Amino acid sequence: MSAAWLTRSLGEVVAITKGRKPPRLISDSSSDSFPYATAEYFRSGIATQFVPSTDLASCVLTRSGCPVLIWDGSNAGEVFVGKDAVLASTMALIRPDDSVLDEGFCYFFLKTAFDKLNDGTTGSTIPHVSKHMLTALQIPILPLPEQRLISSLLFKLESAIALQAQLSDATAEIKRAAMRELFTRGLRGEPQKETEIGPVPESWQIKAIGHVFEIVQGLSLKGNLSGGSDGVPFLRTSNVYWGRIDLKNVSRMHVAPELIGDRWLRQGDLLVCEGGEIGRAAVWESKEPGYTYQNHLHRLRPLIGGSIEPKFAAAWLEVGFCHRKVYEGAGNKTTIPNLSRARLAELPMPVPAIDEQRDIVAILDAIDRKIELHRKKRTVLEELFKALLHKLMTGEIRVDELDLSALQAPAEPLSPAAEPAV
């Protein structure tokens, strides 16, 4: 923190009031009741319990804008912006002296203190915030106009992050709706027929996965896992998500290349999870050679002479397992459910003409690019927020040194015109 800044202990400039459990909790959200503000309520914005207005005399009320802190539990020290509600017994209200401390500035200061407060909790069974540690925190006392500028900037960044999350979620919902429609009606306006996997266009064939793909299960680790940078990179189920493969944490194993045999990955191979969330599937799109995969993954490669687009099959597996539940109970009935090679091979899937498969993939790829764009924007904004939060709260930079013009531009709404056509 800047040596030039005046600081005071937090206990000198805030009042701390612990929440109390009200006499009654009801599920009725009528005008005569107030939301019961738990940590989940602050995270989701959705109240599930309410307090009758007749019981408010014995309750602790929080108001919009005033910081509240999780006092008890594993997330003790996490801070939220208050809402008009009844505060839960596991929370505490932090009321700044508004003659010296802005509520928003106090909120962001407390965000910087989470690790210290969470690591310093007391209590042998249920951890709770150390009041002594909390009140001893040294908070900079800047001129109120500067505090408000700092909190305004950081609130704008938080809103921008939340917007990107909402846009990503909305686009993901568009994709789910598009997938349900595409795999039921197709793109050619054909009549439908009833099949074992539900209604599909009349010209679509239904084939067992093993009739269109060669299926090869991966290698067993057998203690060959290496923590070093040498060895053969291999993918695990934790690298495979629905529709994408994450290479941020790729394990390596010491194994002779000849033992890998035909388990080297090629561009276009479809990987399907045998364990974990069974059926989760994504296509290996990298041209980089030298990757293999573990035995909890199946590699599907189109049979010679077949007409199947692996990304179409990956999308269908998501529909079949997640949206239409055609594969409910597909896993082997063991202690830990798994999707054996034999069971995977016999699962039915739709096989339209290859050009229609590719057209469907193109539509879904366009939506995926939109989702990824929002994810990337959110990541960039989160990194900027963390950097500014630290630098502004320590005096490394001052708010009047920043060019804030980029934050004044209105966010692009998610309009029907911007959505991919289906």
pLDDT in tens, 297-313: 999 999 988 799 999 99
Take residue 272 and report the two structure tokens written for it: 């399907």
What span, in angstroms and rounded, lies between the C-alpha atoms of 387 and 309? Answer: 43
Contact criterion met (CB below 8 Å) for 81 and 107: yes
Same domain? For 154 and 82 the reply is no
Radius of gyration of the chain (CA): 27
pLDDT band at 332 (very low <50, low <70, confident <90, very high): low
pLDDT band at 404 (very low <50, low <70, confident <90, very high): low
- Domain end point (choices 123, 140, 157): 140
State whether the Cα torsion 213-215-218-219 is positive or negative: negative
pLDDT in tens, 46-72: 999 999 999 999 999 999 999 999 999
Which residues are CB-contacts of 114 (< 8 A; sequence separation ≥ 6)?
A: 77, 78, 79
What does residue 45 show for φ and ψ, rounded to 5 degrees?
A: 75, 10
- The enclosing H or E element of 98 equals none
Which pLDDT belongs to residue 305?
A: 80
- Kindly tell me if the per-residue pLDDT of 294 is higher than 80: yes
- Kindly tell me if the per-residue pLDDT of 416 is higher than 50: no
- Kindly tell me if the per-residue pLDDT of 397 is higher than 70: yes
pLDDT band at 205 (very low <50, low <70, confident <90, very high): very high
Burial of 367 (0-12, 13-18, 19+ CB in 10 A): buried
| Amino acid identity for residue 271 in this structure | L
- Kindly tell me if the per-residue pLDDT of 386 is higher than 80: yes
β-bridge partners, 350:
206
Same domain? For 42 and 164 the reply is no
Same domain? For 86 and 178 the reply is no
- For the ranges 24-28, 132-136, 179-183, the lowest mean pLDDT is seen at 24-28
Same domain? For 334 and 359 the reply is no
* Domain membership of residue 329 as a residue range: 205-351
> Where do the H-state alpha helices sit in 277-394?
310-318, 341-346, 354-394
What does residue 339 show for φ and ψ, rounded to 5 degrees?
A: -110, 100
- As a whole number, mean pLDDT of residues 153-175 equals 95
Report the CATH number that the domain containing residue 148 is assigned in CATH: 1.10.287.1120
Same domain? For 299 and 361 the reply is no
Determine, yes or no, domain membership for 170: yes
Average pLDDT across the chain, whole number = 90
- Kindly tell me if the per-residue pLDDT of 250 is higher than 70: yes
Looking at the structure of the chain, the number of domains it has is: 3
- Domain end point (choices 326, 351, 376): 351
Measure the CA angle with vertex 315, ends 271 and 270; round to 5°. 20
- Domain end point (choices 296, 327, 351): 351
- Kindly tell me if the per-residue pLDDT of 415 is higher than 60: no
Top-confidence residue, 327 or 101: 101
Take residue 170 and report the two structure tokens written for it: 């909305």
Confirm whether pTM is higher than 0.85. Answer: no
Report the CATH number that the domain containing residue 216 is assigned in CATH: 3.90.220.20
Same domain? For 366 and 385 the reply is yes
What span, in angstroms and rounded, lies between the C-alpha atoms of 358 and 411? Answer: 33
Portion of the chain with pLDDT greater than 70, in percent: 91
Determine, yes or no, domain membership for 74: yes
- As a whole number, mean pLDDT of residues 151-172 equals 95
Top-confidence residue, 299 or 258: 299
Same domain? For 21 and 135 the reply is yes
Which pLDDT belongs to residue 222?
A: 65
- Kindly tell me if the per-residue pLDDT of 358 is higher than 80: yes
Determine, yes or no, domain membership for 200: no
Which pLDDT belongs to residue 337?
A: 73
Which pLDDT belongs to residue 2?
A: 62
Which pLDDT belongs to residue 79?
A: 97
